[in-house]
Amino acid sequence: MRGIRRGRYDNLRRIRGSDPGTDYLLIHQLTLREEFPWDMRMAFNLAFNRSFALPRVAEGLVGTGRVLTEPRRRADDTGIIMYEILLHGFEHPRGRLALRLLNEAHRHVTADNGDSVYVLAALAVVPMRWLQRYGWRSPDEHEREAAARYYREVGLRMGIRDIPSGYAAFEAWFDTYEAAHLRHSPEAERIERVTRDLLRSRVPKPLRGVADALIATLYDPPLRRAYAVPDPPAWARTGLHAALRARALLLRLARPRTTPLFADGIVTKSYPDGYDLAKLGQRSS
């Protein structure tokens, strides 16, 4: 609800008073929309970016062509569809439509089931790890469990099999699978070069000149190797970490957000005047 004055930890108390087994959608909505809006969107970008480094995923995406020819619009379409499901839930008409679009998009790609589970796990684990390091507070156990439950439910509705149950199982599966399958491929390297501009756009304008070094810092060593990205200089690692930790401290002391993220709808660069959800995923003419 717009404009309600809250205490800094009111939402956390609400989250802790909810059951992540049944209230997982509400909890995950609060985490995204009110507690960590910028952090969660950044971490979702990094989670999707990470999944592109799986060789089979990269090969499938390059095969469809759109990730290379329309990277911005494809990213915006994917983000809108995922956020529409999260904003409205699985039973709302817009949520059902968004889930149908998500399934239709994946019919054009022959996805390995393990790779699909990895994408779900990345969406649950990468944001929680980001919040643990750079959030204004650590993610609560209920937030972790709600994220795992939510993405498990998404996966079940996509026909994905053998999905872990619970955050600890998701996290262990994610690490094990990544150690075995995340590696360099020419297709992954091409995707990273084309989509890098999407991450550059999230770097503050005064720092755009050193954006590549900062982006390399956001990648950990396994991901840099998979994308053939050089290690960042020490000043970039130290500076970015210090800046993000300082931001977390300032947010901890600041008044909480009073207007939820997306209160006025989802606005993207591809659709500055709004979008027709039913038409997302279509190639531009």
In a domain, 267, yes or no: no
pLDDT at 203 over 70: yes
In a domain, 2, yes or no: no
Secondary structure, 3-state, 153-220:
HHHHHCCCCCCCCCHHHHHHHHHHHHHHHCCCCHHHHHHHHHHHHHHHCCCCHHHHHHHHHHHHHHCC
In a domain, 282, yes or no: no
Q: What is the total count of domains within the chain? A: 1
- Amino acid at the residue 107: R
In a domain, 265, yes or no: no
In a domain, 41, yes or no: yes
Task: Give residue 61's pLDDT.
Answer: 87
Rounded CA gap, 242 and 245, in Å? Answer: 5
Region 62-84: what's the mean pLDDT? 90
In a domain, 266, yes or no: no
pLDDT band at 281 (very low <50, low <70, confident <90, very high): confident
Rounded CA gap, 175 and 183, in Å? Answer: 13
Overall pTM > 0.75 = yes
Q: State which residues form the domain around 156.
A: 12-260
Rounded CA gap, 140 and 256, in Å? Answer: 17
In a domain, 247, yes or no: yes
pLDDT at 22 over 50: yes
Instruction: Convert the pLDDT of each residue in 180-201 to its tens digit.
Output: 999 999 999 999 998 888 788 7
pLDDT band at 8 (very low <50, low <70, confident <90, very high): very high
In a domain, 280, yes or no: no
